[in-house]
Structure formats: C-alpha cells, structure tokens
Structure 1
Amino acid sequence: MPLPSRVTDLTSFDLLRSVAELGSIGRAAQAHGMSQPSASERLRTLEARVGVTLLERTPRGARLTTAGQLVAGWAEPVLARAADLDAGLTSLRADRQCHLTVAASLTVAEYLLPAWLIALRAVSADTATVLTAGNSAHVAEQVLSGKADLGFIESIDVPAGLAGRVVAEDELVLVVAPGHPWARRRHVTAAKAATTPLVSRESGSGTRQAWEHALRAAGVTSSADPLLEMSSTTAIKAAATGGIGPAVLSGHAVAADLATRALVRVEVTGVDLRRALRAVWPTGQTPRGPASDLLTIATRSLTTRADRR
C-alpha cells in the first residue's frame, strides 16, 4: 500500500528534529543546506498536514511544542531506517562501480586494451576488471545480455540495441610468408585477392566482416571460400607464416611480424581497408563509473594519435 500523504516528506520531519537539536529554524535550515524561508515554509506545511502546532516561534529562536516533541520522537526510528536504506543503496552502487566486466574483440583485447587497462588502474586502483574476449558478434551478445558493462568491437556497423563510439583506427593488411609468390609482387588486385582462398577468421568475426564489406564496396561481388577458418589471430599468423596461405589481419596484429619480416605485406589495389574500432554499450544507457573512465581513456588515445599526425 502507498505511504500516507502525511509521512511521505521525510525531509520535513528531519528538519523538525534539527530544530529540536539546534534551537532555531535558521540553524536547522543551514544544516540542511536550504534557506530559512524555505525551511519555515516546509515546517508550516508539515504542521498543516499533521493538523497540530509543532513549533513555538519566538524572537530568540524556536522550540518544539509537546506535540512537536512527540512527532519528532516517533519520526526518529523512521529517519534512522531511511539513513540505513540510503547507506545500503550507496554500498550497492559502490560495489557495482568497483567491478567492471569488459568484452572485447580479439584485436582490441590483444593489442589495445592492455594499455587502456593500465591507464584505468592509475585513476581507479580499486576497480576489479574482468575481461572476456571473442569475436565481435560474441561481444555484442555479452553487452546486450548485461553480462558485460562495456564492449569493444571491430564490426562495420553498431549492432541493433547498442550505442557506440569510435575509439581507435585500424587497417586490414593482406600478409603472406616471405616465400609466397605474392611476396615478390607486393600487390594484387581486389578481384585476385577475393578469388584466392585465404586463411580466415570465423563467421561473426569483425575482421572477416570488414574484409568482405571492403570488397563489396570495391565492386567485387564474389569471393572464394576460406582455405582455413581459425578463431585465433595467433593461429592465423602461424598458418600464414608457415606458408599455408595468405591471410587478412589487423595492422595492429601484424606490425611486429612485418618489422621482422616473418610476414610480408601485400598491397590490395582498388580497395579501402581502413576501419574503425568501437566501444559499445546498451542503447539508452550511459556508461558510468569505471566503464565511463575506460571509455574516456580509449577515446583519448584516439585523439592523441590524431594529434601526433
């Protein structure tokens, strides 16, 4: 059942108690962070609701009437329970803010997120972070189901039900082993790359989705089935390095391999392989606490790279 209208305004009862303790409406108002006229009006409204005079007002201050003392005494345990309720709500929020669950695509999880989490540790040392990694479709599912507070994906579009923000830039790179014939050519057409079976990520991967989208945007309407599907970036690099076949991977993932010439980059002409990496969260919600801090850190890293250019 709803609370009776006479007792819904607990602040007025708390104000009455403060008058009893401090001896004046002015000092009680100051303790509650309100003006004296506002406090006086609240107390008059309380008296009207209760139906009796609660205060004796004098030039030297105010004191509770006998009825006022009774009302303040009856209100005391209610106000104490309200304080307990507020403390409980605060502890729940604090507990929530000290735990952060992040779901991230493999590229972000392996090559970008570690630095972001180190930066998060510097501003939120008490936050316990749990990271789950998977393809972009899995990340979207985790965030939509509430199992993750924040997600990072490589998908071309933000999945339905999620809001997103670009936090990093990436470029897909076609790579081959040094002994592969393409290593000497150094470039192939988009059509040639599309009709060649590649070592590829599984369906649902943001990298695979971005590659297929880029080919369609370049006017390539058909492509070969993958030579080999693997769910691990490390496994794909090993397969490409071993000469099993060409692979398309994130530039972040192959930077070290290109520097050591364990893999050779092959330019794909006529296609734009740049893409954005995004943070995502449920539509209609705003990341808060550590999730908001991590989002700010990731976004700031994008701005820093842009400034360096």
Structure 2
Amino acid sequence: MGEDEPSVPLSHRVPDLGALELLLAVARLGSLGRAARARGISQPAASSRIRSMERQLGVALVERSPRGSRLTDAGALVTDWARRVVEAAEAFDAGAQALRGRRDSRLRVAASMTIAEYLLPGWLIALRAELPGTAVSLLAGNSSVVAERLLAGEADLGFVEGLAVPAGLDGAVIAHDRLVVVAAPSHPWTRRRGELTADELAATPLILRERGSGTRQVLDAALAAHGGLAEPLLELASTTAVKAAVVSEAAPSVLSELAVGEELGARRLVEIPVRGLRLGRELRAVWPAGQRPAGPARRLLGLTRGTP
C-alpha cells in the first residue's frame, strides 16, 4: 500500500480476541463445557458466543453432540488463523508490558530550588516506600531550567515556583507559599518602629536569587508598581547561598517562608514586615502539554496533593 493510499479498516467480520480464545479452547479441550470453564464463563454464554461468531463469519465452526464438540473443516481452518492472531496479540501485550516496565523503572524529576530542598525529599521518601524498584534522579535548578528540561524530554515531571505555568507545559497547583523579607538581627530594619514600605524595599540593594528563579519572578512582579527592584547587591544561584550571605550581615533578602523557617526560629534571621505588599505564590507540578504524567510520575504527583 502506498503512503498516500487510505488505510482500510479491519472487516466487521473479524471476531474479537475473546471469541478467538474461546474457539481455541474448544479445539484444545474437545468440549464446549470444558472450554467455558477454562475461560471462566458459563456454558450458555460460551454457546452464545460461538453462535455469534458463526453468524459473524457466515460459516459453521463447531458441531455439537452428546459426546462433546468438534470443529468443522471451516472451524479447523479458522482455529489455525485464530492461533496466529492470538499469538501475535500475546507478543504485542508482552512488548507493551516491557515498555511499561522500562518506564516504571525510572523517574526523572526536575525541580526549582525551594521545592527540591524543602518539599521533594519527603515526597520521594513516600514514593520509595510505594515503588521501591523505581530509580529516581533529581535535577535541581531554577524554574526556567525546569521548563527547558521538560520540553527537551530530559525530565518526566517538574516542579516550579513562578507566577504561571511556563509556555509549552501543563500544570497543577500543589501547594501555596509566601515570600518573606529577612535580615540579620543586627540590621537597622529589625529596630525600626514602623513597617517597611514597598517603595523602601524596592529601592534597597538586596541579596537575591538569579533571574529566572520563581522567587525572583514573583518579587519582580510585586515591586513593578513601586519602581522595580534596585540593582541587587548580590545575585546567587542557590537559596542556601543567599541565606548565608544574609546571616553574615551583607544585606537583607526576600526568600520563601519554607526556606527560612529554621533560621527564623533560631533568630539567625528576622522577618521584616512590609506594609501593603502581597508576596504569596503558588507552587506547581508541570509536564509537557498534552502528556499527562503516567507511571511513577503520576504516583509522585498524587503524593504531592496532601501538601499544605
């Protein structure tokens, strides 16, 4: 058949696999009743299915007698064809199972830094308890890098912290987060009486995550109406590095509440209230558009649903 010729659908006279398997059982066992038991159906149901197949093909397949059932000449020929069809279907099923097994043997996750450090470890421990045979690899990077890896086919599931689902991806909100302004205890902002204003925050050189990170996207958008961010004092590629710089009294920063909980509790950092500035954000699971997560990726996505 040429490439431009329309494909021809299978004839409506081709029986389904279940009917062919029943016919093979009759040929093997020599009795419609024994074939019915072997297939886990009643004898009347088996008889009805054979009659339906005979009408569908337009030929008699089985002769019934008190001594059992035997194939007609046409039935013997159809049985030979049926055996080849069923064997091909079994090979197809085995191949599909092998593909599923290969898919389920690994999971490639790409996650933005905050999610990778503070949420994913718990999810992956729970996943390992359910799927101990699945090998998981994790790539941590900013939200832009996560999107690039998914679109390049280098990750099965991603997690981002930005304002929206990146282009070319579908996603679902899995949690909510809040950005907080933090400073070292010795910083002058910790001793002021009134709240910091958004204009003051925007005008202050801060220690920030790099452009492309979800934290930076949210902060840029929130301060756009207040003149935009001042030139950062430092831009660092990890939340841990930013926290270390703030603790060393270099300058304040804006970070995820998830990331600074321990430092705030130990008073190594102090949260600075900001008047009239909303810094909430949604955390999302993302995947290539039109490709719903399957296998371990789908299970991991399910485990994120209970996240506060």
Matched, 1:252 2:253: no
Task: Tell me the TM-score normalized by structure 2.
Answer: 0.86
How far apart are the structure 1 equivalents of 2:66 and 2:287? Answer: 58
Task: Indicate if the aligned counterparts of 2:15 and 2:56 stay in contact, CA closer than 8 A.
Answer: no
Matched, 1:68 2:75: yes
1:46 CA drift (Å) = 4.5
How far apart are the structure 2 equivalents of 1:214 and 1:119? Answer: 35
Q: Which amino acid aligns with 2:121?
A: P
Partner residue, 2:4: none
Task: Indicate if the aligned counterparts of 2:184 and 2:249 stay in contact, CA closer than 8 A.
Answer: yes
Q: Give 1:216-255 correspondences, 5 Å limit.
A: 216=224, 219-255=225-261
How far apart are the structure 1 equivalents of 2:20 and 2:220? Answer: 66
Matched, 1:271 2:277: yes
Matched, 1:211 2:216: no
1:210 CA drift (Å) = 1.0
Equivalent position SS for 1:169:
strand
What is the CA deviation profile of residues 56-91 of structure 1, one whole-angstrom value per residue up to 9, with x for unaligned ones?
133665321233234323443442232122111112
Partner residue, 1:84: 91
Aligned-residue Cα RMSD (Å) equals 2.6
Q: Which amino acid aligns with 1:225?
A: E
Q: Which amino acid aligns with 1:105?
A: S
How far apart are the structure 1 equivalents of 2:94 and 2:30? Answer: 28
How far apart are the structure 2 equivalents of 1:51 and 1:43? Answer: 12
Partner residue, 1:117: 124
Task: Indicate if the aligned counterparts of 2:108 and 2:154 stay in contact, CA closer than 8 A.
Answer: yes
Partner residue, 2:293: 287
Q: How many residues align?
A: 300
Alignment equivalent of 1:185, drawn from 189, 192, 197: 192
* Gapped regions of structure 2 (runs ≥ 5): 2-7
What is the CA deviation profile of residues 230-262 of structure 1, one whole-angstrom value per residue up to 9, with x for unaligned ones?
111111112212222211111111111122222
How far apart are the structure 1 equivalents of 2:292 and 2:40? Answer: 29
* Gapped regions of structure 1 (runs ≥ 5): 303-309
Change (3 A) 1:35 1:194: farther
Change (3 A) 1:29 1:163: farther
Alignment equivalent of 2:65, drawn from 55, 58, 67: 58
User: More displaced, 149-158 or 4-13?
Assistant: 4-13
Task: Tell me the TM-score normalized by structure 1.
Answer: 0.86
1:185 CA drift (Å) = 2.1
Change (3 A) 1:214 1:123: same
How far apart are the structure 2 equivalents of 1:61 and 1:161? Answer: 63
Q: Give 1:65-214 correspondences, 5 Å limit.
A: 65-185=72-192, 187-214=195-222
Q: Which amino acid aligns with 2:165?
A: V
Partner residue, 1:305: none
Q: Which amino acid aligns with 2:254?
A: V
1:93 CA drift (Å) = 0.7
1:35 CA drift (Å) = 6.7
1:105 CA drift (Å) = 0.5
Equivalent position SS for 1:114:
helix
Task: Indicate if the aligned counterparts of 2:107 and 2:135 stay in contact, CA closer than 8 A.
Answer: yes
1:195 CA drift (Å) = 0.9
Equivalent position SS for 1:170:
strand
User: More displaced, 148-157 or 164-173?
Assistant: 164-173
Identical residues among aligned pairs (%)? 55
